[in-house]
């Protein structure tokens, strides 16, 4: 009887052998249900053989092989193998992590194929119908009409994505002459939206990338905010679609999905597009995954996990906002979707495009040294749109009241009078970051983390933004009994309260993780902003990148100084990228942009470079500092992370791991140290850093060391090897 070798979702870096009937090499990549201990589990067949190292009498038989969907393609299995080897993570866990949840259980997949596609277009009568004419309780109808009025044409697939109940409205609207319907071919590449004329810089970028579209290249598309990077993506995707191939577009945040999806659907209205992100339920995610595998979906838009999507005929990979740390998974398998996208493009001999206004220093360095090909967009794409004027407000002179200075309040007032929109950026949700006793200095700590609890005044709760722990407000200081305890500092909720008091007639909208928890909340928020139902936006980093608000003229930035003197060597790079992105929301169309940064250090080089919009100057300075200090991109790093209930247990484990290491001279091993946030979610954490100027030497060392670490007794310790770490 043939032997199948199966990868299982268990923390052991080996394959498991089982006997199976009626299997062949063609079954590699299929799911198999097999016994494991006392349980039945599902894994992926990676090999079929006549031989095994296990005595035949000890071999168990597979319960069954699922053949209802196509096997995982060989190219995707190669990607999983590379990911396992590079990140030193068990292969079975890597593969199962990359599959939709419904493929990880012991059941066959039973999904109906999609019916024929129709294209629905808004009529002139439909254009005259206001969303407000539909009763507020009919939220699906309102949202559907809003989508039609934004793009004018939707396919039945797009309508199903808006809501499964939306299709029921279509026949009524056809009768009312609001919309028309026609059958559409999914193979067509129809361009419906108005297509802008490319700027000279955009044309150079598109021509350069499409000229080498049949071979692997990593392109760094480095364009200032508003320079039209998205239009470059669209033109390149169009050239791929004309060849009948597929495009994979990776974005860092789920919040960017609705706007980018809307742009893509408007341009390619009859081209099937699937969106893959954590906001989908298990069935929706599997449906999109299968459409990509079968070649039905021509554009695949998704967050980092989408890099593992099986795509039958991949023509290009685009990584938007490539510098964003969200592309790095921070628990379990700690992979970088950006780096895997580059490997996948090389494997498929296709171009990969890394787009950013503020590239990561690693990508910028690779472009400087010729490893990546570099194209620049130095001016804004919209005619007469200029980069915003950036100024610093010295808060040593202009004292703040409730976190806002006089010049910023005055600027907001002028903006309101002109009927322009403004944005206040503060990267701290909640009401205030600290509950403080003014008598003894007590601050409310989290019992499970080395952090303070954040004040959420409306809920009368204290919340930890790291572990989710919540407490009720204490009536008095638990340390000294003083009843005069008060919130200290600003969060988005407190800024909202202050601005509501200062501008009672202004329409104010707060955007943070608390206000966007509901499904479809993002679509409703973006619709409100684009239809001028909002005067002042208050937001966190969710608003920092990718969004296009044509009427936004003023951006105010609060509390940015904290990152200037951080112990994290990447803090300056992140702060500059974040502020450049936030500043870039202003002045993107015909409205002039103005950015005001409240700071106690207006002469700091970072703010000076920001005012000049000079990324290159700051990048060169930071690279010189990194080279002198021996930090990436001049070295390659790995971090052995460990956590347990007691810090001594963690440090003892890391000390034992260090004793097992015998690094060559080209690899440097540092002593174990507690993590910056020592306690997180009830566990004490520490780590051990390894680095080398040679990636090859580092990984050769890690491979042998990882095998030795797995032999250590670690029942009380959880550990993981984090390759190319971003957080310490």
The CATH number linked to 77 is 3.40.1440.60
Same domain, 212 and 358: yes
Q: pLDDT tens digit string along 299-328?
A: 999 999 999 999 989 999 999 999 999 999
Do 321 and 574 form a contact (C-beta atoms < 8 A)?
Answer: no
Q: Rounded to whole angstroms, how far apart are CA atoms 579 and 544?
A: 8
Q: What percent of the chain is modeled with pLDDT above 70?
A: 95
Query: Could you tell me if residue 142 is inside a domain?
Result: yes
The pLDDT tens digits for 207-230 are 999 998 889 999 999 998 888 899
- Domain-located, residue 364: yes
> Of residues 513 and 658, which shows the higher confidence score?
658
Q: Is residue 480 part of a domain?
A: no
> Burial letters for 205-221: b for 16+ Cβ neighbours within 10 Å, e otherwise?
bbeebbeebeeebbbbb
For residues 568-582, average pLDDT:
89
Look at residues 302, 308, 314, 300 and name the one whose alpha carbon lies nearest to residue 251.
302
Last residue of a domain, one of 76, 103, 130: 103
Give Cα separations from 444 to 489, 493, 515, 645 (angstroms): 14, 19, 24, 22
Residues 129 and 226 in one domain: no
Same domain, 619 and 653: no
217: domain CATH number is 3.40.50.300
**What does the pLDDT look like over 344-397, one tens digit per residue?**
999 999 999 999 999 999 999 999 999 999 999 988 877 766 788 999 999 999
- Region 466-485 average pLDDT: 88
* 34 falls within a domain: yes
Domain containing 240 equals 200-377
pLDDT at 280: 86
Residues 366 and 405 in one domain: no
Instruction: Tell which of 349, 377, 405 closes a domain.
Output: 377
What pLDDT, on the 0 to 100 scale, is given for residue 163? 77
Note the pLDDT tens digit of each residue in 248-273: 999 998 877 777 888 898 888 888 89
Residue 615 sits in the same domain as residue 669: no
- Per the structure, the count of domains in the chain is 5
Three-state DSSP at 411 gives helix
- Give per-residue pLDDT as tens, 35-62: 998 899 999 999 999 888 888 888 899 9
Contact (Cβ atoms closer than 8 angstroms) between residue 63 and residue 35: yes
pLDDT band at 184 (very low <50, low <70, confident <90, very high): low
Assign 122 a pLDDT band (cuts: 50, 70, 90): confident
Run of H or E residues at 508: strand 508-511
Has residue 38 been placed in a domain? Answer: yes
Question: Given the DSSP bridges, would you call strands 299-302 and 273-276 parallel, antiparallel or unpaired?
Answer: parallel
Sheet holding 118-122, edge to edge: 153-155, 118-122, 179-183
CATH code where residue 641 lies: 3.30.70.600
Is the per-residue pLDDT at 133 higher than 70? yes
Tokens 């685009």 correspond to 318
pLDDT tens for residues 409-427? 999 999 999 899 999 999 8
Neighbours of 70 (CB within 10 A): 13
Residue 448 is assigned to a structural domain of this protein: no
Q: Has residue 188 got a pLDDT over 50?
A: no
3-state secondary structure 584-621: CCCCCCCCCCEEEEEECCCCCHHHHHHHCCCHHHHHHH
- Together in a domain, 414 and 369: no
Tell me how far CA of residue 310 lies from CA of 210, 265, 288, 289, 314, in angstroms.
24, 22, 11, 7, 9
**Exposure string over 245-263, b if 16+ CB within 10 A, otherwise e:** bbbbbbbbbbbbbbbbbbb
Question: Residue 158: its pLDDT value, please?
Answer: 77
627 vs 128 pLDDT, higher one: 627
- Residue 187 has a pLDDT of 43
Asked whether residue 257 falls in the same domain as residue 174, the answer is no
Same domain, 53 and 158: no
Closest to 190 in 3D by CA, of 260, 275, 297, 272: 272
Answer yes or no: do 259 and 326 share one domain: yes
Last residue within a domain, chosen from 73, 103, 133: 103
- Asked, for residue 728, whether it belongs to a domain, the answer is no
The residue with tokens 């992105």 is 581
Mean pLDDT, residues 657-664: 94
326 and 364 inside one domain:
yes
Q: Are 324 and 240 in the same domain?
A: yes
Residues 552 and 585 sit within 8 Å (Cβ to Cβ): yes
Q: Is residue 329 one of the residues assigned to a domain?
A: yes
Mean pLDDT of the chain: 88
- Both 569 and 589 in one domain: the answer is yes
Render pLDDT for 80-117 as a digit per residue (tens, 0 to 9).
999 999 999 999 999 999 999 999 988 888 766 555 56
What's the gap between Cα 546 and its chain centre? 12
The distance from CA 667 to its chain's CA centroid, rounded to whole angstroms, is 32
Specify whether the CB–CB gap between 351 and 316 falls below 8 A.
Answer: yes
> Helix or strand or coil: residue 716?
coil
Cα–Cα nearest to 523, from 139, 142, 143: 143
pLDDT digits (tens, 9 = 90+) for 434-457: 888 888 888 999 989 999 999 988
The yes-or-no verdict on residue 169 having pLDDT over 50 is yes
* Contact between residue 280 and residue 287 where contact means Cβ atoms under 8 Å apart: no
Q: When comparing pLDDT for 560 and 206, which is higher?
A: 206
């Amino acid at each position: 009887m043939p032997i199948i070798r199966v990868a299982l979702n268990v923390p052991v870096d080996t394959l498991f052998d089982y006997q199976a009937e009626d299997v062949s090499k063609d079954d590699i990549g299929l799911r198999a249900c097999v016994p494991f201990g006392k349980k039945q589990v599902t894994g992926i067949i990676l090999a079929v053989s006549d031989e095994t190292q296990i005595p035949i009498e000890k071999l168990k038989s597979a319960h069954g092989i699922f053949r209802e969907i196509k096997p995982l393609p060989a190219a995707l299995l190669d990607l999983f193998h590379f990911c396992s080897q590079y990140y030193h993570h068990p292969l079975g866990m890597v593969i199962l992590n990359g599959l939709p949840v419904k493929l990880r259980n012991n059941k066959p997949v039973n999904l109906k194929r999609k019916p024929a596609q129709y294209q629905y277009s808004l009529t002139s009568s439909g254009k005259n119908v206001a969303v407000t004419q539909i009763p507020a309780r009919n939220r699906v109808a309102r949202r559907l009409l809003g989508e039609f009025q934004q793009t004018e044409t939707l396919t039945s697939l797009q309508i199903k994505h808006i809501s499964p109940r939306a299709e029921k409205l279509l026949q009524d609207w056809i009768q009312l002459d609001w919309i028309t319907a026609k059958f559409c071919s999914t193979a067509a590449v129809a361009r419906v939206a108005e297509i802008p004329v490319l700027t000279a810089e955009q044309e150079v970028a598109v021509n350069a990338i499409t000229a080498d579209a049949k071979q692997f290249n990593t392109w760094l598309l480095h364009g200032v905010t508003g320079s039209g990077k998205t239009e470059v993506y669209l033109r390149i995707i169009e050239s791929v679609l004309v060849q009948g191939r597929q495009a994979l577009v990776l974005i860092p945040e789920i919040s960017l999905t609705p706007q980018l999806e809307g742009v893509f659907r408007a341009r390619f209205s009859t081209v099937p597009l699937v969106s893959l992100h954590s906001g989908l339920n298990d069935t929706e995610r599997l449906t999109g995954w299968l459409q990509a595998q079968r070649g039905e979906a021509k554009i695949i838009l998704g967050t980092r996990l989408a890099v593992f999507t099986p795509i039958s005929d991949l023509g290009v990979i685009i990584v938007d906002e490539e510098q964003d740390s969200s592309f790095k998974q921070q628990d379990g398998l700690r992979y970088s979707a950006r780096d895997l996208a580059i490997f996948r493009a090389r494997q498929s001999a296709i171009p990969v495009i890394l787009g950013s206004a503020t590239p990561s220093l690693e990508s910028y360095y690779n472009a400087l040294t010729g490893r990546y090909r570099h194209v620049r967009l130095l001016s804004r794409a919209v005619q007469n749109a200029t980069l915003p004027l950036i100024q610093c407000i010295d808060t040593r002179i202009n004292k703040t009241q409730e976190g806002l200075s006089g010049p910023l309040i005055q600027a907001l007032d002028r903006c309101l009078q002109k009927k322009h929109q403004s944005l206040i950026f503060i990267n701290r949700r909640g009401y205030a970051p600290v509950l403080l006793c003014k008598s003894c200095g007590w601050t409310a700590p989290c019992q499970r983390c080395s952090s303070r609890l954040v004040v959420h005044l409306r809920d009368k709760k204290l919340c930890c933004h790291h572990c989710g722990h919540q407490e009720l407000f204490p009536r008095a200081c638990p340390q000294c009994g003083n009843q005069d305890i008060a919130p200290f500092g600003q969060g988005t909720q407190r800024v909202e309260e202050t601005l509501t008091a200062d501008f009672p007639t202004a329409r104010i909208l707060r955007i943070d993780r608390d206000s966007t928890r509901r499904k479809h909340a993002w679509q409703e928020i973006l619709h409100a902003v684009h239809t001028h139902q909002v005067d002042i936006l208050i937001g966190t980093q969710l608003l920092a990148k990718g969004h296009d608000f044509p009427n936004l003229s003023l951006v105010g930035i609060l509390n940015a100084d904290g990152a200037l003197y951080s112990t994290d060597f990447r803090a300056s790079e992140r702060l500059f990228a974040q502020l450049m992105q936030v500043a870039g929301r202003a002045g993107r169309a015909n409205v002039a942009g103005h950015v005001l940064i409240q700071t106690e250090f207006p002469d700091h080089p970072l703010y000076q470079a920001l005012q000049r919009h000079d990324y290159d100057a700051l990048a060169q300075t930071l690279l010189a500092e990194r080279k002198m200090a021996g930090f990436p991109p001049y070295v390659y790093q790995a971090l052995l992370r460990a956590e347990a209930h007691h810090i001594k247990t963690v440090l003892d484990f890391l000390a034992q791991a260090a004793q097992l290491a015998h690094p060559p001279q080209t690899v440097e091993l540092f002593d174990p140290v507690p993590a910056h946030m020592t306690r997180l979610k009830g566990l004490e954490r520490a780590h051990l850093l390894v680095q080398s100027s040679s990636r090859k030497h580092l990984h050769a060392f890690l491979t042998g060391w990882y095998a030795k670490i797995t032999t250590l007794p670690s029942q009380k310790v959880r550990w993981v090897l984090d390759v190319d770490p971003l957080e310490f």
